[in-house]
Structure 1
Amino acid sequence: MDDEKIIELFWERSEQAISETADKYGGICRKIAWNILGNEEDTQECVNDTYLGDWNSIPPRRPGALRAYLCRIARNQAVKKYRLNMAAKRTC
């Protein structure tokens, strides 16, 4: 499906937008999170948080490049999770 159609689905608040996003960009979001985290459970959590972040942020904003927008969200979620996991209290 075309990116503009996916964005329109988000604007309409259609749940199909999440499944279309997962079909088209799930692999790259997973790869970004995996390269940062190296853990399957944390990777899946970050990918799901990426979809949630996309769902919550698209109606006020309309991204020009959906792929870059999703990759940025995925990277930020993974870095946040990595920092949480590597906090001094959790690594001892």
Structure 2
Amino acid sequence: MKNITAEELKSRLSSGEKLNIVDVREPSEYAEININGKLVPLGKIMGMQFDDIEDLKDEEVIVHCKAGMRSMQACVFMEQAGFTNVVNLVGGMDAWKKLG
């Protein structure tokens, strides 16, 4: 698993790069603030329910949550399921919000 900072992610998004972002928070958290990632709550990932993102197994997938811990767990499960390029957003949405 690789890591990415909120600053690096923001820079890549600002440059118009098309990114595969997976948000592993709960729907209520996603409704409050999101960066247009695909919502796949951690419980689905831990249950190996990858239907929504199966086609991304060989692509870079940036995973985030609120603070970075759930996304780290999700990255481990995804790697075990054969995802080859998972990237954890360090600090999650907490770090993203600090950027303004």
Q: TM-score, normalised by structure 1?
A: 0.28
By percentage of residues, which structure has more helix?
1
Q: TM-score, normalised by structure 2?
A: 0.27
Larger radius of gyration: 1
By percentage of residues, which structure has more strand?
2
